[in-house]
Structure 1
């Protein structure tokens, strides 16, 4: 069986079973993430606000991105014939997925600031700062996402950027917003964070300072730092392929291709720009669950409390 037949079939199975599976598990995980970080111990923390907002945007972005793919397996795909759906689905998908990435960067920046020895930098990790930053970021991406949306069109059943110079500008924008910005931002803050944590372990303070010392971070705070760093490790392999594909598509736009090469390219593009990229939305809960004993213990206690509350309500009725 040739790749022209085999790869589309594999792609269909990945959408039908793979995407459906991580849509369900990801939705459950993101919901639990939101519930976990709204507990009293976390709700007044700046990093909790970033993670809660990140999880909400991730949940919305996941559904907006993947539900149409699953729907199209059994029904006519509206992306192939409805220009309005082509535009609005991309706008919402791009907005919420970019918000997910940005709030992840901000969560890393917040934890770096909280571990800094400089009081000016530590001020960034304040609750009141997060309250101001979050609406500004939301407004920013809802406005900026109009720009790439206007570059897209529905042409011969394909919902994509217009050809020519516009496609080149679009590719550069996507490369920056989906690849360079989030990867550079998270990597920089992760390196600075690791450097601060090493410094904290090595430094001994015999005196008590007036401000709360970042070196006295509680175990819960250290676990959050670890969870974000592990999530970054998971984030890289699901995002870098999309960046590579964007560069390749621009470089090979005018190359004459055989049917086999087109089949391989389309399958690779599917893996990088759909299957792996949307998998990013589901990572945080499962990464947190595997990386932190505190997270697992507190999550279990939260679920037990829910169970007791529900069963008590039923008994009282």
Structure 2
């Protein structure tokens, strides 16, 4: 065996190890964290915030990514076990569904950034657009639009033979050769990474500008609005942390796809194919951090989120104590109501 063959085997082994290790980390962290997200975002203090609804909906889609897509990708990219490489119907459904489910959460974060921009506007009529009802409608429209924008995938995806990282000719589920394969590389990169990241940054800067203008116009905030403002600031920090991780996690795969589309017509030897496969699989594995780390980011950056999470922990650790405190509060409220009731004197005769 030549030195080139040894290096290729080492690269291929590294690919399998990276995929399995990184995917398992994302699976464990994501499953635990996203389930806690669902519990926290359904709490009363956060449940009626439009920004919370966007983050809650994003969590639901991310949970599908972690529980369904990651195990399928571990089997496919780590051990070359994928029914979609041999069955055309599974091929079309798998890629169509997976692309949609992974893209929607990124755009929901964009909507959350847009909501923060509206909510921070110094103009009252713009702030009124930010509402729970608007968030529901926006989530539905965005999901439908993303499905429509990917509707070409079941039509043009097919099973074709290609040279893998081992130098073997194997079947795989890919876009149709030619212009469409270049198009889908740019299309998926733009929808999944470049456009959402750009819009997140734009709305983030606009929100910062709104906050600066508001501070200049209203340097002192009334006491009654301080709690609401504090909660808005916490949600903004949580969202900013999420945006930063989404950009960092999805940027490498965007760079690789652009590189692959520009070098598609070049003749490549087995060693270069192995190196490119390592780069692609590593970059693709990193994208799952954008879907699995939100709970930990929210806990670190959001006081209001952290407080609600600790309330849930205390509730399940000491359920009797929680019920006792709730009962005491209820009795205290009833007693205050009775003491505040006016005394009526009945006159006889």
Question: Aligned residue for 1:22?
Answer: 26
Aligned with residue 295 of structure 1, among 289, 305, 319: 305
Give the conservation status (yes or no) of the 8 Å contact 1:64–1:93. Answer: no
Shift of 1:253: 0.4
Q: Does 1:163 pair with 2:167?
A: no
Shift of 1:78: 1.5
Aligned with residue 296 of structure 2, among 282, 286, 290: 286
When the two structures are superposed, what TM-score results if normalisation uses the length of structure 1? 0.89
Deviations 1:175-206 (A, max 9, x none): 22122220111111111122223334444356
Question: Aligned residue for 2:280?
Answer: 269
Question: Aligned residue for 2:211?
Answer: 197
Q: Does 1:219 pair with 2:223?
A: no
Aligned with residue 306 of structure 1, among 307, 316, 322: 316
Partners of 1:70 and 1:309 lie apart in 2 by 39
Partners of 2:89 and 2:147 lie apart in 1 by 17
Q: Does 1:149 pair with 2:154?
A: yes
Question: Aligned residue for 1:91?
Answer: 96
Give the conservation status (yes or no) of the 8 Å contact 2:29–2:293. Answer: no
Unaligned runs of 5+ in 2: 162-170, 324-349
Unaligned runs of 5+ in 1: none
Question: Aligned residue for 1:120?
Answer: 125
Secondary structure at the aligned position of 1:253 is classed as: coil
Paired positions, count: 308
Cα RMSD between the aligned structures? 2.5
Aligned with residue 193 of structure 2, among 173, 176, 179: 179
Aligned with residue 60 of structure 1, among 53, 61, 64: 64
- Structure 1 pair 175–53 and aligned structure 2 pair: CA distance change class (3 A): same
Secondary structure at the aligned position of 1:125 is classed as: coil
Shift of 1:103: 0.5
Question: Aligned residue for 1:234?
Answer: 245
Partners of 1:89 and 1:310 lie apart in 2 by 47
Give the conservation status (yes or no) of the 8 Å contact 2:43–2:308. Answer: no
Q: Does 1:107 pair with 2:116?
A: no
- CA radius of gyration, larger in: 2
Shift of 1:207: 9.2
Aligned with residue 31 of structure 1, among 22, 29, 35: 35
Partners of 1:207 and 1:248 lie apart in 2 by 51
When the two structures are superposed, what TM-score results if normalisation uses the length of structure 2? 0.81
Shift of 1:239: 1.0
Shift of 1:264: 0.8
Shift of 1:311: 10
Shift of 1:74: 6.1
